Amino acid sequence: MKKAEPGKMKSPRSGSIAVAGWCAILAVPWILARLTWLVLEGQLDAIAAAIPAQPSGWLSIQGADTLALMLVAPIAVLSLVSGIGILNRKRWAWVTLMLFLVLALLVNLVRAYYGRPEYVLMLIYGALALILNQPDVRRAFRIGRPSHEPVE
């Protein structure tokens, strides 16, 4: 068994990093379950048939639903890849997951404006954003200025 050199050892993963990584990974089955529910309820055909023809049509609840449906596969892949990257403490994964959370919260705010908010998802996304912005998590991903550096 190879012993790691003292300077090359990784510090143990904090609980916040593990929670964020596994939440991102476990979002994939949640997304697929929601898609399956739409198929079983017959709502998928109605949403797919209501693709807006005019640009202003995208600013309606049907437009938001259609857009969300079109982005399901890329979002699932993005969530899975960023979750694995978070568990491996890759800096790009922190940035990717934060971008995903910002976009997901914006989509849910639009849905809330049209009267169909998903409060549970908004709560989960908000909690994940708070977890990712904790000082120990930001330090683990080398995000921002080191805490010992003075502010100018």
Distance CA 29, CA 66 (A): 20
pTM, 2 dp = 0.67
Per-residue pLDDT tens over the stretch 95-126: 988 888 888 888 778 778 877 777 888 888 88
Per-residue pLDDT tens over the stretch 2-60: 555 555 545 566 777 888 887 777 777 777 777 777 677 776 666 666 666 676 666 66
**CB-facing half-sphere around the CA of 103: CA atoms within 13 A:** 15
Per-residue pLDDT tens over the stretch 59-74: 666 676 676 677 766 7
Segments making up each domain of the chain, as ranges: 15-140
How large is the average pLDDT for residues 80-99?
88
Beta strand segments in the chain, E: none
Burial environment of residue 128 by CB neighbours within 10 A (0 to 12, 13 to 18, 19 or more): buried
pLDDT of residue 10: 55
pLDDT of residue 146: 67
Tell me, what DSSP letter sits at residue 6? Answer: G
Q: First vs last Cα of the chain: how many Å apart?
A: 47
118, 31 in Cβ contact below 8 A? no
